Amino acid sequence: MVLDLDFIGLLVAAVLTLVVLSYALGDHPIFRFVLYLFIGVSAGYAAAVAVQDVVFPQLVYPILDELNAAPSLDLAELGVRVLLVVMLLAKLSPRTARLGNPATSLLAGVGAALAVGGAAQGTILPQIGSAAGSFDMASFNLAWQGGYYLEAIEVIFNGIVLVLATVSTLAYFHFGAVSRGKQEPLRNLLVDSLAWLGGFFIAIALAALFSGVLLAALGALVERLDFLQRTLSLLLGAP
């Protein structure tokens, strides 16, 4: 009987799926075995892709081009890249690790800058800006002019709740407090009151987020069980 690679792959995938799903009923050695297999495969794949897609084109090919007297990068740029790479490789040994500090510091500096820029430009300012839409004034005016006063008030109420939720959530995290010796530090009344309210909104937000993760996991479970069911049907020759 000739087994083609696709069919073997299907069987392997089905067995691995079954083993991992069985962890829901309890830990066992075969699950651990699969776990380590997974760590190995994913590491090997990720590293190979990085070498292939980045290290080769950014470093290896330019060096080869340089050696073949057909430079694709200017020498200074190539020199900096090689220097950084050598520094990073120095991290392999504890004795030389300190030589690599500039390379990791470059990563830290760039990472921090992107985080700062992203937070300010991408989140804080747009989110403040979006508060402008808290009160749906178009709907309010329409309702008011049409004599739907209750609906108009509802629009205002909704806006107040939305703004209050944002403000009280922010206030919940206020860290500063006044020291009271042996007793717990105390925040001022306004902050504490807002924070108390914020606790409810935060709990609701966390519940919404948690339900999102639950539903995502449920989607994955449905897909896996569907896959197992289809594979079983295939093996049994069902239509």
Partner 1 sequence: MNWRVHTPVAAAVAIVSGGLVLASLLIPGLDEARNRVLNWAILLAALGLLLGLANLFRVHWEKLRNRQNPAYSGVLIAAMLVTFAVTLWEGSRAELPSWIFNNIQVPIETSLMAVLAASLTLAAARMFQKRSDRISLTFGIALFIILLGSGPLFGMEIPFFTRTLTPIVSGFLAAGALRGLLIGVALGTLLTGLRVLVGADRPYGG
Partner 2 sequence: MNFSAEHLIGLALALLIILSFVGRDNPRRAFRSIKAFKELRRSIELSVEDGSQLQISLGRDGVLGPHSAAAFAGLTLLNQVANTAADSDQPPIATTGDPALMLMAQDTLRHAYQRLEIPEHYHPLLGQATGLTPFSYASGSLAQLLDGSVSASALVGHHAEEAALISTASGTRGAFSLGGSPDLSGQALLFASTDEPLLGEEVYATGAYLDAGPAHQASLRAQDVLRWVIILAVLITAGLPLLEGLL
Partner 3 sequence: MPQTYRDPEENLPEWLRALRKRQEEEAAASQPEPPAEEGRTEEPGWLSEIRQRYRTSSLEQDAEAETAALEDTQPRPPGRTESEPIQEPLPEPEEISPFSDSEPVLEEAAPAFPTEEPASQPAFADDPGDETSHPVVPAFSEDPEALGAEMPGWLESLRPDEGFPLEDERSEAMLPESGPLPTGPLADLSDALPASEIGQMGKPPEFSTRLEATASQRQHAAVLKELLQTEQQSAAEGQPPPLPARMLGMIISALLFLAVLFPLLSGSQSADRPEPSFFPEAGRLFNNIDVLPAGAPVLLAFELQPARYGEVAPAAAAVMRHLLDRQARLVFISTEETGPALAERLLAEQFANTPAISTGSYTNLGYLSGGVAALRSFISDPRGAVLGTPEREDPWAAAPLEGIQHLRDFALILVVSGDADTTRAWVEQGAIELPGGLFAATSAQAGPLLRPYLHSDPVTLRGLVSGVHGAVVYERLRGQDGLGRQYWDAYSYGLGSMALLILLGGLYSRLLQAQAEVKPAPGGGSHGP
- 3-state secondary structure (DSSP) of residue 26: coil
Looking only at residues 169 through 198 of this chain, which bind partner 2 when binding is defined by CB under 8 A? 169-179, 184-185, 187
Instruction: Name which position in 13, 17, 154, 159 contacts partner 2 (CB under 8 A).
Output: 159
149 in contact with partner 1 (CB under 8 A): no
Q: Which does 204 bind (CB under 5 to 8 A by kind): partner 2, partner 3, partner 1, none?
A: partner 1
Backbone torsions φ then ψ of 185, nearest 5 degrees: -65, 155
Decide whether 82 or 112 has the Cβ nearer to partner 2. 112
CB-neighbour burial class of residue 155 (10 A; exposed 0-12, middle 13-18, buried 19+): buried
d(CA 101, CA 84): 10
153 in contact with partner 3 (CB under 8 A): no
51 in contact with partner 1 (CB under 8 A): yes
Q: How far is CA 31 from the centre of its chain?
A: 26
CB of 198 within 8 A of CB of 169? yes
Residues in Cβ contact with 143 at an 8 Å cutoff, skipping those fewer than 6 apart: 149, 151, 152, 155
184 in contact with partner 3 (CB under 8 A): yes
- Return the number of other C-beta atoms located less than 10 Å from residue 168's C-beta: 20
Q: Which does 156 bind (CB under 5 to 8 A by kind): partner 2, partner 3, partner 1, none?
A: partner 2
Decide whether 39 or 110 has the Cβ nearer to partner 3. 110
Decide whether 55 or 232 has the Cβ nearer to partner 2. 55
Taking the complex as a whole, the smallest distance from the CB of residue 64 to partner 2 amounts, in Å, to: 25
Q: Which does 28 bind (CB under 5 to 8 A by kind): partner 3, partner 1, partner 2, none?
A: partner 3
d(CA 182, CA 83): 55
Instruction: Name which position in 71, 79, 122, 199 contacts partner 3 (CB under 8 A).
Output: 122
79 in contact with partner 1 (CB under 8 A): no
Q: What is the DSSP letter of 92?
A: G
Q: Please count the residues of this chain forming the interface with partner 3, following the rule CB under 8 A.
A: 70
151, amino acid identity: E
Taking the complex as a whole, the smallest distance from the CB of residue 61 to partner 2 amounts, in Å, to: 22
